[in-house]
């Protein structure tokens, strides 16, 4: 046998020391290159699955960070539009100041706290022309006399409260409402560089001078405004419209429509305390981040136009920031195949759509937003506003389906073509198309001859196809044409036309336009005078055949309501400014007295009525439209003014909601 193998030697004991080798040639300094090589070796040691998981998580984190950035950017943008009093330490944003100081410092309440008063840095004279309004010539009265201008002391005013805004929620309801001109190139889009190098331009009518104190009739308008405002302030503060009889309110957009519509009226009437209180609401309460549909046309002329006008008159950049925010929220309406905008847009979600019953928009809606969007571009330098609306104007200009300059009432947003052809009117759904042809031409410095050509052609079309004379007094009126058949129907809305014709004559258009304007003005006044209440019905029909038992103006039961509309007094203002004939002031005073007698509500406010033919039972409708403060009373105040430079027709053009915007200075 073999001997067993010897046992294995015991394991060597572990050393209880560490051997460190020092090298004189290099040293370990925790350098980035060594760390990179170490990290790379560790990365290579990971399995493919582990590396894929890490890469996926890294990509996920990057995506989350990007989305967070977008969300925060929206919040930063919202912060940038806070009122001035919340941003006192921020530098003034270039382009958001008027080109010249406003005629008055911003109205302030007596004893107002400093934090409620907008802060403005002193404006220095500069050699270049900046975006903004021209130097204004209007002045607000220093004081408002007590006789006839203050509210009834027996009814102390109740301060508006935030809680009042949260009560009585209402559902939104949607409703309608021979000169030689040298040809020049179309108006170019404004740019910061172009405007910076433009020469200053001031017309003689814009020179500063002391304001005339309000006369007795103007004081009557101030008193009427204060009475209407008292009702709104008590019962509808911050809401769209006052219901004066039930002492409540109604909502349309939920954006304080009456308040915004009345801002420039308060400034013009010199109501400092009321203006400052309304400004504070705009600063602290007005937010457009709402999930609500608004009508593009109505919200543009009332809200956007009201904010732009308030900015021009007061010089307060709060209103311009709000206007730019709102304008951006309206832009999705133009995202249609034809670029003809949808009628409605949600200002919170950015979703635009046509009405539920059709894919059409009305021609007046899509062609009566140009003044406001063009001015927003001029003030902000953002071209998209003007580009969008002028594309609509060019499209309508080139479109077939017109009749000697007259346009149908509807247009399809998908095809971009007129629908319901053969029906022509100057009433609802088409009226302000004609008005804005002239006013855009004036606004742009009379350069866009295409607009002037369309306007002049349309006036000739009106004379040819729509003009008739009634019996027995041979009143001149504008009817309607449906597939070749004439209807002796005239909306009260058509009473804008005398004023528009007179405005054109003031700016050098044919003198025979004034003859037509005066004849139509007489008709519109008779539409009021021949009613028992002295107030016009919504729609009138005219007698074309002589009969001893019939008057010129006839009213159907469904058309005899009055909504406190401004068109008659609007045209009276223009006719008086151009002719200086005081009979137009007398006619306006008569209408104001009728408003006071048949529509005034004792607790505050004025109401539309159902029956203008019954002076004993006019039947209040319990609604005060925002345009009563924004248009009707403003035009009455200007009509009664003896100062032709108070919002001179050579310096300003009024939008279709009576908000004055400056005529662009030529470069």
Q: Which residues are catalytic?
A: 298, 431, 538, 567
Give backbone dihedrals phi and psi of 162, rounded to 5 degrees, phi first. Answer: -65, -35
C-alpha–C-alpha distance, residues 281 and 276, integer Å: 9
Do the Cβ atoms of 361 and 340 come closer than 8 Å? yes
| Residue 297: closest CA among 348, 363, 239 | 363
Give backbone dihedrals phi and psi of 135, rounded to 5 degrees, phi first. Answer: -65, 125
512 upstream amide cis, omega within 30 of 0: no
Q: Is 577 exposed, middle or buried (0-12, 13-18, 19+ CB in 10 A)?
A: buried
C-alpha–C-alpha distance, residues 425 and 621, integer Å: 27
Which residues have C-beta within 8 Å of that of residue 149, sequence separation ≥ 6? 219, 222, 223, 226
Do the Cβ atoms of 513 and 505 come closer than 8 Å? yes
Do the Cβ atoms of 658 and 637 come closer than 8 Å? no
- Tell me the torsion sign for CA atoms 180, 184, 186, 188: negative
Q: How far is CA 49 from the centre of its chain?
A: 60
**Residue 279: HSE in the Cβ half-sphere, 13 Å Cα cutoff:** 32
- Per DSSP, the chain holds a count of helices (H) and strands (E) of 21, 18
Q: How far is CA 3 from the centre of its chain?
A: 115
| Residue 495: closest CA among 469, 468, 524 | 524
DSSP 403: B
The beta strands (E) that lie in 488-559 are given as 489-491, 539-542, 553-554
DSSP 429: T
Q: Is 2 exposed, middle or buried (0-12, 13-18, 19+ CB in 10 A)?
A: exposed
Q: How far is CA 266 from the centre of its chain?
A: 17
Sheet containing 344-346: order of strands: 293-295, 344-346, 352-353
Do the Cβ atoms of 329 and 255 come closer than 8 Å? no
Do the Cβ atoms of 268 and 637 come closer than 8 Å? yes
Do the Cβ atoms of 543 and 550 come closer than 8 Å? yes
Do the Cβ atoms of 428 and 491 come closer than 8 Å? yes
The beta strands (E) that lie in 1-138 are given as none
Do the Cβ atoms of 134 and 206 come closer than 8 Å? yes
- Strand partners of residue 554: 541
C-alpha–C-alpha distance, residues 438 and 446, integer Å: 9
C-alpha–C-alpha distance, residues 534 and 593, integer Å: 9
C-alpha–C-alpha distance, residues 291 and 271, integer Å: 33
């Amino acid at each position: 046998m073999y001997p067993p193998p010897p046992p294995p030697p015991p394991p060597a004991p572990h050393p209880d020391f560490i051997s460190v080798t020092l090298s004189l040639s290099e040293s370990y300094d925790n350098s980035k290159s060594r760390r990179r090589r170490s990290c790379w070796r560790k990365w290579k040691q990971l399995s493919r699955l582990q590396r894929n998981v890490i890469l996926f998580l890294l990509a996920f984190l990057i995506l989350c960070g990007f989305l967070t950035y977008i969300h925060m950017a929206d919040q930063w943008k919202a912060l940038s539009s806070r009122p001035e009093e919340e941003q006192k330490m921020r530098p003034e944003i270039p382009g958001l100041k008027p080109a010249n100081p406003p005629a008055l410092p911003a109205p302030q309440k007596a004893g107002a706290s400093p934090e409620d008063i907008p802060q403005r840095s002193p404006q220095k004279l500069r050699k270049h022309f900046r975006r903004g309004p021209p130097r204004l010539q209007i002045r607000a009265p220093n004081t408002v006399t007590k006789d006839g201008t203050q509210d009834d002391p027996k009814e102390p005013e109740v301060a508006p409260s935030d809680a009042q805004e949260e009560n009585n929620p209402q559902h939104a309801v949607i409703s309608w409402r021979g000169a030689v001109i040298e040809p020049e190139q179309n108006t170019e889009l404004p740019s910061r560089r172009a405007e910076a190098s433009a020469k200053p331009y001031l017309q003689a009518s814009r020179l500063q001078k002391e304001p005339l104190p309000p006369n007795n009739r103007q004081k009557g308008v101030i008193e009427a405004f204060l009475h209407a405002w008292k009702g709104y302030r008590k019962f509808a503060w911050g809401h769209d419209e006052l219901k004066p009889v039930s002492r409540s309110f109604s909502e349309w957009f939920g954006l304080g429509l009456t308040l915004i519509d009345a801002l420039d009226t308060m400034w013009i009437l010199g109501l400092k305390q009321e203006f400052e209180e309304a400004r504070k609401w705009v600063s602290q309460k007005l937010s457009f981040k709402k999930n609500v549909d608004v009508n593009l046309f109505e919200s543009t002329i009332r809200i956007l136009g009201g904010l732009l006008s308030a900015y021009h008159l007061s010089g307060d950049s709060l209103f311009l920031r709000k206007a730019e925010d709102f304008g951006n929220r309206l832009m999705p309406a133009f995202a249609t195949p034809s670029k003809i905008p949808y009628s409605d847009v949600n200002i919170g979600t950015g979703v635009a759509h046509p009405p539920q019953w059709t894919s059409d928009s009305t021609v007046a809606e899509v062609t009566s937003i140009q003044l406001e969007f063009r001015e927003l571009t001029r003030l902000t330098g953002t071209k998209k506003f003007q580009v969008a609306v002028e594309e609509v104007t060019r499209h309508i200009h080139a479109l077939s389906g017109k009749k000697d300059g007259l346009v149908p009432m509807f247009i399809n947003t998908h095809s971009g073509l007129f629908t319901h052809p053969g029906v022509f009117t100057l009433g609802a759904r088409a009226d302000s198309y004609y008005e804005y042809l002239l006013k855009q031409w004036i606004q742009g410095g009379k350069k866009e001859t295409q607009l002037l050509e369309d306007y002049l052609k349309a006036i000739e079309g009106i004379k040819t196809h729509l003009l008739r004379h009634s019996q027995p007094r041979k009143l001149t009126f504008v009817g309607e044409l449906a597939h070749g058949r004439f209807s002796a129907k005239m909306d009260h809305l058509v009473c804008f036309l005398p004023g528009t014709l007179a405005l054109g004559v003031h700016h050098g258009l044919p003198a025979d336009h004034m003859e037509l304007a005066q004849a139509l003005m007489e008709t519109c006044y008779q539409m009021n005078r021949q009613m028992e209440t002295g107030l016009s019905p919504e729609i009138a029909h005219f007698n074309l055949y002589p009969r001893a038992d019939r008057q010129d103006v006839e009213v159907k039961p469904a058309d005899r309501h009055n909504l406190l509309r401004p068109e008659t007094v609007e045209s009276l203002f223009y006719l008086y400014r151009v002719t200086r004939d005081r009979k137009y002031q007398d006619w306006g005073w008569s209408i104001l007295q009728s408003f006071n007698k048949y529509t005034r509500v004792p607790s505050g406010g004025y109401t539309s009525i159902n029956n203008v033919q019954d002076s004993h039972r006019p039947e209040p409708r319990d609604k005060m439209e925002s345009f009563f403060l924004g248009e009707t009373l403003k035009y009455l105040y200007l009509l009664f003014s003896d100062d032709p430079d108070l919002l001179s027709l050579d310096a300003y053009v009024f939008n279709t909601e009576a908000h004055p915007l400056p005529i662009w200075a030529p470069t």
